[in-house]
Amino acid sequence: MPHSHRSRVRKESPAPEDAASRRGFLRNTAAIAGAALSGAAGVVGSPESHAAVQGERWQKAPGTVPGAYGQPSEFEKKIGRVGITGYPDVTPGAGVSLTPIQSLRGTITPSGLHFVRNHNGTPAIDPAVHRLMIHGMVQRPLIFSMDALYRYPTITRTYFLECSGNSGRNLTPEPQQISAGILHGLISNSEWTGVPLSLLLEEAGYDRAATWLLAEGADAANMTRSVPMEKALDDAMVALYQNGERLRPEQGYPARLLLPGWEGNMNVKWLRRLKLTNGPTHTKDETSKYTDVLPDGKALQFTFEMGVKSVITHPSQGVTIEPHMYHEISGIAWSGAGRITRVEVSADGGVNWKDATLHGQHLPKSVVRFQLPWEWHGTRQVLLSRATDEKGRVQPTRQAWLAQYHADMRYHNHSIVTWAVEEDGSVRNVYA
Ligand SMILES: Nc1nc2c(c(=O)[nH]1)N[C@H]1C(S)=C(S)[C@@H](COP(=O)(O)O)O[C@H]1N2
Ligand SMILES: [Mo]
């Protein structure tokens, strides 16, 4: 009797099998506090509850008809990107819009919440007019209409995209009390579908002597970056779709360059031109910016691969947690070098570490979610996570990372992120 009173009420608490397997999971993952775990508090409702028996008001009348394009629940309206513009009067489109990583679970970033980094706004490109040109050191210079480009065979892969300026806000002398998303939200993870760049380069008959190519965007910033041919022929793609639908305008509609694992800036959006060359072009975007300032003040050019990194998103700055209760420490980890193989979590400022469980699809150059059950008993505790990738690279401490660079360095901060859970349960951004 699937619709009986009892089975309905049951829905309010985990099914017995779920509860049992969850307890087993908690035992097996070795709770970090070492304390015996009580059941999850906060399960509401009892069989006597009137609403649970009678049904809520939304069961008494027909619901609404779906719109053409679905939207999140009206109760989730407060979840959104945070936009920060440097010079609103001069270049209102130049700035960032950060993914609220503290509000998300799983691994895929909803397309409408993918972070945006624009140097001069999002252009409104008409695909009937837009062209992609491949020229330079090729036998056959080609100009693709979008109709032609969208007919090429595609591949589908899940990759993260991270701005090399991500976590730059955690380099201030004092830790800022702003959300994980505002601190570290220039990271998103999508399923991308597009044409392998190698296929288009073959089509143009690329000169084997070409060592680099220049990629140019069709926005008013005229973003241009030099890309080594090795990468272009490896896993680079011209992305056309994002999470199953055509790219969002903010992500480069109708075509963008995607260089898996490499710094966001090189993933040129609104791609209009690829010129094959026998060396880097040294464009404005790779000389005036996106260089690493070393301790002696010299700038190191062309750091492409993004470092191994993790961020605890739950709990994180801005929330208040309750004591004597089960909490899940959860976060995201990724590496430009390949797969994440391990994420360790410490709840005592880095003295003791426990391996977190890795969830989600375990893909190279893609976000994986880590989780560890934890019971908090009301004392101040400092939470850290440390990721390792398949190349054996380990996420550095903040101190070790800082020691590599000049104080002016703002890019590629992949150092360990630290949150303090204070005695009142509030969670603060701290530097270990
Ligand atoms: N044409 C063009 N491409 C661009 C940019 C831009 O401003 N114009 N910004 C770059 C930077 S700095 C980053 S971090 C990524 C951001 O991609 P997203 O906005 O899709 O997240 O795009 C890169 N590609
Ligand atoms: Mo960026």
> Which atom of ligand 1 is found nearest the CA of 164?
14
Spatial neighbors of 278 by CB under 8 A, at least 6 apart, are: 137, 209, 210, 211, 212
Ligand 1 proximity of 235 Cβ (cutoff 6 Å): no
pLDDT higher than 80, residue 52:
no
Is 230's pLDDT higher than 60?
yes
Sequence-separated (6 or more) residues with CB below 8 Å from residue 390: 335, 337, 338, 339, 340, 341, 364
Q: Is the CB of 221 under 6 A from ligand 1?
A: yes
Stretch among 37-51, 122-136, 176-190, 280-294 having the lowest mean pLDDT: 37-51
pLDDT of residue 283: 96
Residue 394 predicted with pLDDT over 90: yes
Calculated CA dihedral for residues 196, 197, 199, 200, nearest 10 degrees: 130
Query: How far is ligand 2, taken at its centre, from the CA of residue 368, in Å?
Result: 21
- Tell me the helix, strand and coil percentages in the chain, rounded to 5: 20, 30, 50
For ligand 1, whether the C-beta of 305 sits within 6 Å is no
- Nearest alpha carbon to residue 253 among 127, 421, 416, 90: 127
Residue 167 has pLDDT above 90, yes or no: yes
Confidence at residue 4, expressed as pLDDT on a 0 to 100 scale: 34
Residues paired with 13 in a beta bridge = none
CA 189 to chain centre: 5
96 C-alpha to center of ligand 1: Å? 10
Q: Is the CB of 115 under 6 A from ligand 1?
A: yes
For residue 122, what pLDDT is reported?
Answer: 98
Give me the pLDDT at residue 3, please.
36
Q: Per residue in 239-282, pLDDT tens?
A: 999 999 999 999 999 999 999 999 999 999 999 999 999 999 99
Is 338 in contact with 365 (CB distance < 8 Å)?
yes
Res 206: pLDDT: 98
- Hey, whose CA ends up nearest to atom 8 of ligand 1? 223
Query: Is the omega angle on the peptide bond into residue 254 within 30 degrees of 0, that is, cis?
Result: yes
Q: Supply the mean pLDDT for the chain.
A: 90
Residue 250 Cβ contacting ligand 1 at under 6 Å: yes
The confidence score (pLDDT) of residue 270 equals 98
Residue with tokens 């990629």: 215
Q: How many angstroms is it from 281 CA to the middle of ligand 2?
A: 19
The protein residue with its alpha carbon nearest to ligand 1, atom 10, reads: 265
Is the pLDDT reported for residue 19 higher than 80? no
Relative to beta strand 116-118, strand 256-258 is unpaired
- Rounded to an integer, the average pLDDT of 170-177 is 97
DSSP state of 167: T
Ligand 1 atom having least distance to the Cα of 248: 20
CA-nearest residue for atom 23, ligand 1, is 265
- Our mutation pick for probing the ligand 1 site, out of 118, 120, 219, 262, counting the most ligand atoms within 8 A of Cβ, is 118
Please identify every residue whose CB atom is under 5 Å from ligand 2, which is an ion.
Answer: 117, 163, 264-265
Q: How far is the CA of 263 from the centre of ligand 2 (A)?
A: 7
Nearest CA to 101 among 325, 315, 411? 315
Beta strands in 82-154 (DSSP E): 82-85, 95-98, 116-118, 131-136, 142-145
268 CA distance to ligand 1 middle (Å): 6
Closest atom of ligand 1 relative to the 222 alpha carbon: 1
Q: Which ligand has the minimum distance to the alpha carbon of residue 94?
A: 1
What pLDDT is stored for residue 354 in this prediction? Answer: 98
Per-residue pLDDT tens over the stretch 121-166: 999 999 999 999 999 999 999 999 999 999 999 999 999 999 999 9
Pocket lining: 117 vs ligand 1, CB cutoff 6 Å:
yes
pLDDT tens profile 183-216: 999 999 999 999 999 999 999 999 999 999 999 9
pTM of the predicted model, to two decimals?
A: 0.90
Write out pLDDT tens, residues 323-365.
999 999 999 999 999 999 999 999 999 999 999 999 978 899 9
pLDDT average, residue stretch 359-376: 94
pLDDT number for residue 277: 98
Total Cβ atoms within 10 A of residue 250: 19
CB of 267 closer than 6 A to ligand 1?
yes
Once rounded to an integer, what is the mean pLDDT over residues 231-244?
A: 98
Nearest Cα residue to atom 16 of ligand 1: 117
Q: What is the pLDDT of residue 406?
A: 96
Q: Look at residue 54 in the predicted model and tell me its pLDDT.
A: 78
The answer, yes or no, to whether residue 222 has pLDDT greater than 50, is yes
pLDDT bin (cut points 50, 70, 90) of residue 40 is low
